[in-house]
Amino acid sequence: MRDPTLDLKVIHLVRDPRAVASSRIRSRHGLIRESLQVVRSRDPHIHRMPFLDAGHKLGGKKEGGGGSDYHALGAMEVICSSMAKTLQTALHPPDWLQGNYMAVRYEDLVVEPIKTLRQVYGFVNLAVSPEMEKFALNMTSGPGYSSKPFVVSARNATQALSAWRTALSYQQIKQVEEYCHQPMALLGYERVGSPEEVKDLGRTLLRKPRL
C-alpha cells in the first residue's frame, strides 16, 4: 500500500455473518477441515466466548449436522474477530489507507446491483460497460436459490438474502450474533430480538453502515 509505484486500492466484500454461518453449515462436509483449522488458529491468549448453551452442540445430531455444524459455528468467532479488527482499521484509517479502502455489502450488491457496481467501478476510476451491468442484473435476478454449495449461478436476490432466516435455528442465530456483534454493528446488520422477528421476512435487518 505504501509503494509509490503502485496505485493500489482495497475493495472489501462483506456479508451478513448469519448468512455466512448458514452457508458454512450448508457446506459442512466440504468445509469441516477448514472450519477446524480456523478454530485452531485462534489466539490462545484471547479468552474464548462460551456457547450460549454450553450443554448443547448447536446443530447436533438431532438436527442432522453433528460436530460439523458445531465447528462451522465455532469458526465464526475467529472469522468475526478478524473482521472486527479490519473494520476498526478502516473506520480510523492510517494515512496510507485513506481514500484507498471501500467496503461493499453483498446485500447492497444483490438488491441494487447497478448502483453498487457503478460505485465500485467509480472507486477505481473506471466506467462500467453495459455488458457488465447486464451481467450483474442477470446474476441477481435468477429463477431460484441453489442449495448446492460452491455453485455459481443466477440467484433470486430476495431469496438469497433471507435464506439464513429459515435455515438457521434461533439458537444458532443468537450464537452468531454473540460472536459477531461488533462487525455487525459497523456494517449495519441488525440483531434480532425474537424468533418472530427472524421469520418476518418483510422486516429488513439492514440499516446504513458506519463505514
pLDDT band at 138 (very low <50, low <70, confident <90, very high): confident
> According to the model, what pLDDT value does residue 61 have?
43
Query: Of 44 and 186, which is predicted with more confidence?
Result: 186
Sorted by where each begins, the domain ranges of the chain are: 10-43+67-199
- Whether the per-residue pLDDT at 129 is higher than 80: the answer is yes
Residue 89 pLDDT: 96
pLDDT of 17 strictly over 70: yes
The Cα 107–Cα 109 span in angstroms is 5
Percentage of the chain modeled with pLDDT above 90: 55
Rounded (5°) CA angle 79-175-163: 80
Percent of the chain residues past pLDDT 70, beyond the cut: 73
Using DSSP's 3-state secondary structure scheme, residue 6 falls into: coil
Q: pLDDT digit string (tens) for 165-193?
A: 999 999 999 999 999 999 999 999 999 99
pLDDT for residue 205: 94
Does residue 147 surpass a pLDDT of 60?
no
User: Higher confidence at residue 123 or residue 73?
Assistant: 123
Residue 173 neighbours by CB under 8 Å, 6+ apart: 18, 164, 192, 198
pLDDT at 76 over 80: yes
Report the pLDDT value the prediction gives residue 141, as an integer from 0 to 100.
Answer: 78
DSSP 156: B
- Would you tell me how many other CB atoms lie within 10 Å of the CB of residue 189? 23
Indicate the pTM of the whole model: 0.81
Split at pLDDT 50, 70, 90, the class of 75 is confident
Confidence bin at 45 (pLDDT 50/70/90): low
Top-confidence residue, 95 or 148: 95
Closest CA to 25 of 57, 68, 61, 54: 68
Flag whether pLDDT at 121 surpasses 80: yes
The pLDDT of residue 83 is 95
| Residue 150 banded pLDDT, cuts 50, 70, 90 | low
**Cell numbers of 182, please?**
461488533
Helix H segments across the chain? 17-26, 28-40, 67-91, 106-111, 113-123, 130-139, 157-167, 170-187, 195-199
CA 3 to chain centre: 30
Is the pLDDT at 131 greater than 70? The verdict is: yes
Average pLDDT, the chain: 83
Which is nearest to 101 in space by CA: 184, 32, 10, 178? 10
For domain 10-43+67-199, the CATH architecture is: 3-Layer(aba) Sandwich (3.40)
On whether the CB atoms of residues 42 and 77 are closer than 8 A, the answer is yes
Alpha carbon distances (Å) from 57 to 20, 25, 63, 129, 138: 19, 13, 10, 49, 40
In 3D, which of 29, 75, 88 has the Cα closest to residue 175?
Answer: 75
